Chains A and B, each alone.
Chain A
């Protein structure tokens, strides 16, 4: 082989500054939302952001680590119950309780991983669901937190929550309005942090190893990637994020019951729908998916049970005509990507930079 090797190689991903400017503008507007729009709209935005966190987490788990779980509601429900327990039984501030809930959810992931990681593919999926049901049934026995019928957060806890007083004094917000604004900002921070964490992970060496494991686990092990450890770390990290989101959702709802907190429809089926129609294996996909889901939910809400049938139809149509999701189809056609993670070899015989695509 006598190909001249250029002296300088450079790897880069084709990031551009224009989307970064738009992102900054969107973030600025989003941060100011509680002062600009109605309380109902702030609650809608809260819903979108928390679903986005759940969708990004599930996307990391299924789209990158190849762990197709249908039991992520266990971490939503457990996180929510951990937060309720901390507030009601120990009088801890709800904001602090959210963080505790995240760590407890990650802790719960250790024994559940012990059972479910023995299973592969569809068996893993069913296993995670079984674990979620077991935890739901156990928590429904917890009388101090309302047993099977559930309970509410004490009014004083919500009123005295960190930051509520400050918002009241500074902007003259009522307690309920201040609570909504506060949980909304927390959801915004959580969503941005989640996306930032996943983006950083995917651009790191570990992210490359994760993509290799997803593509071919046997080959990944053969080139020295610790596939098992890598999947376990992702499982733990997504449990933490999902637990945080679950606790936050239930601070805002202020009322919990086992059936609602461990709902497979609300916290997993909708989340999978969001990721699949948006585009699995991309960071942009869940963002597109959650917006579409919200629009569909609002426009179809009056149709009763037809709503679920319509969602199913949309899901099927997307799978047939855009199997890589709406963002995947868009990105394939235009080459545009907001979160590039490709490593490109540029310079030398290639002479020019190539456009990167997602690892999906």
Chain B
């Protein structure tokens, strides 16, 4: 059974249809990449999955349960961990405390129970030496790593990544991709929206292409990148 399933999910902002009967599913432990040009509705789709935007119609199932009307908090507690495109750290809390919040609330554990796991995540995401620094003082790369670390601390079954590689240098991006690949290898399902295609295709097994709020193709990354429609619409190459 699939972990995440969208059935004919639609969303309109006034006259603009930003999600037009979108249907797809993500299996347990699978990694799906979502691509599309600016304005294709990627962020809205992301927000529909996390619950920050309410669907006009259609159903969203997660882990077999209908979560279409569930608020973001409930979706987190049921196993969705997300990152924000623009990092949203708890600025006055330290990096370690940021993770403690996510670990103790998101995974419903006592604070003492999550100390060790949070410290391990900090080590895995390369933030251990920043553990006791207030998150407001981090650089962009560190903030992106904190987004990832905090999402992991909630012990997600599905990790939702929103343009986490954007704005990073090539080296920084590669280090981050290695971290994400390691997380995926442990069996966490991933849905990743990204413009940086080489980062995306080195992790995901399947790509979904979005344009004007519609799914215009899904398949293996290599096939998608070769398809004529995608090249025309997404890469803007006239053939």
Chain A residues with a Cβ under 8 A of chain B:
1, 3, 5, 9-11, 205, 208-209, 211-212, 214-216, 218-227, 281, 342-345, 348-350, 354, 357, 359-360
Could you tell me how many residues of chain B have their Cβ less than 8 Å away from some Cβ of chain A? 50
Near A by CB (< 8 A), chain B positions 147-191 give 150-151, 153-154, 178-179, 182
Contact A343 B97 (CB under 8 A): yes
Complex A-B: 18 CB contacts under 8 Å: A1-B179, A1-B182, A3-B123, A5-B123, A208-B100, A208-B104, A215-B93, A219-B84, A222-B50, A222-B72, A222-B76, A222-B82, A224-B154, A342-B94, A342-B97, A344-B132, A345-B119, A359-B92
Interface residue from A218, A219, A221, A345 paired with B131 (Cβ < 8 Å): A345
**Cβ distance B149 to chain A, nearest Cβ, rounded Å:** 11
Supplied contacts A224-B102, A281-B92, A348-B128, 18 more A-B pairs, CB within 8 Å: A1-B125, A205-B111, A211-B97, A212-B93, A215-B91, A216-B89, A216-B90, A219-B88, A220-B101, A223-B151, A224-B106, A226-B73, A342-B132, A343-B94, A344-B94, A344-B132, A345-B96, A349-B128
Question: CB-nearest residue of chain A relative to B110?
Answer: A205
Q: Is B115 an interface residue (CB 8 A)?
A: yes
A133 to B88, CA, bound (A): 38
Contact A3 B73 (CB under 8 A): no
Near A by CB (< 8 A), chain B positions 96-142 give 96-98, 100-102, 104-108, 110-111, 115-116, 119-120, 122-126, 128-129, 131-132, 134
Contact A212 B90 (CB under 8 A): yes
**Cβ distance B154 to chain A, nearest Cβ, rounded Å:** 6
Contact B132 A223 (CB under 8 A): no
A208 to B97, CA, bound (A): 8
Interface residue from B52, B82, B92, B102 paired with A360 (Cβ < 8 Å): B92
**Cβ distance B95 to chain A, nearest Cβ, rounded Å:** 9
Interface residue from B71, B89, B182 paired with A221 (Cβ < 8 Å): B71
Given contacts A343-B100, A345-B131, A349-B128, contact A215 B92 (CB under 8 A): yes
A9 to B111, CA, bound (A): 13
Q: Is B196 an interface residue (CB 8 A)?
A: no
Given contacts A345-B119, A359-B92, contact A209 B131 (CB under 8 A): no
What does DSSP make chain A's interface, helix, strand, loop or mixed? mixed
| Residues in chain B near residue A215, CB distance under 8 A | 89-93
Contact A211 B104 (CB under 8 A): no
Interface residue from A1, A224, A343, A349 paired with B76 (Cβ < 8 Å): A224
Chain B residues with a Cβ under 8 A of chain A:
50, 52, 71-73, 76-77, 82, 84, 88-94, 96-98, 100-102, 104-108, 110-111, 115-116, 119-120, 122-126, 128-129, 131-132, 134, 150-151, 153-154, 178-179, 182
Given contacts A220-B101, A343-B97, contact A350 B125 (CB under 8 A): no
Contact A224 B73 (CB under 8 A): yes
Contact B91 A216 (CB under 8 A): yes
| Residues in chain A near residue B96, CB distance under 8 A | 11, 343-345
Contact A354 B132 (CB under 8 A): yes
Interface residue from A11, A212, A349, A360 paired with B129 (Cβ < 8 Å): A349
Contact A359 B93 (CB under 8 A): yes
| Residues in chain A near residue B124, CB distance under 8 A | 1
**Cβ distance A13 to chain B, nearest Cβ, rounded Å:** 11
Contact B110 A223 (CB under 8 A): no
Contact A212 B132 (CB under 8 A): no
| Residues in chain A near residue B129, CB distance under 8 A | 349-350
Question: CB-nearest residue of chain A relative to B105?
Answer: A224
Question: CB-nearest residue of chain A relative to B97?
Answer: A343
A209 to B88, CA, bound (A): 15
Interface residue from B88, B101, B106 paired with A218 (Cβ < 8 Å): B88
**Cβ distance A272 to chain B, nearest Cβ, rounded Å:** 20
Contact A345 B132 (CB under 8 A): yes
Contact A219 B125 (CB under 8 A): no
**Cβ distance B157 to chain A, nearest Cβ, rounded Å:** 14
Interface residue from A219, A223, A348, A359 paired with B119 (Cβ < 8 Å): A348
Contact B90 A219 (CB under 8 A): yes
**Cβ distance B174 to chain A, nearest Cβ, rounded Å:** 13
A36 to B105, CA, bound (A): 50
A222 to B47, CA, bound (A): 11
| Residues in chain A near residue B82, CB distance under 8 A | 222
| Residues in chain B near residue A216, CB distance under 8 A | 88-91
A94 to B226, CA, bound (A): 83
A354 to B123, CA, bound (A): 18
A349 to B132, CA, bound (A): 12
Contact B90 A221 (CB under 8 A): no
Interface residue from A11, A209, A345, A357 paired with B105 (Cβ < 8 Å): A209
A360 to B151, CA, bound (A): 24
Question: CB-nearest residue of chain B relative to A342?
Answer: B94
| Residues in chain B near residue A220, CB distance under 8 A | 90, 101
**Cβ distance A347 to chain B, nearest Cβ, rounded Å:** 9
A205 to B50, CA, bound (A): 24
Question: CB-nearest residue of chain B relative to A8?
Answer: B116
Residue of A10, A212, A220, A354 ringed by the most chain B CB atoms within 10 A: A212
| Residues in chain B near residue A348, CB distance under 8 A | 119, 128
**Cβ distance B54 to chain A, nearest Cβ, rounded Å:** 14
Q: Closest 6 interchain pairs by CB? A: A224-B106, A215-B90, A219-B88, A223-B102, A224-B105, A345-B131
A275 to B104, CA, bound (A): 30
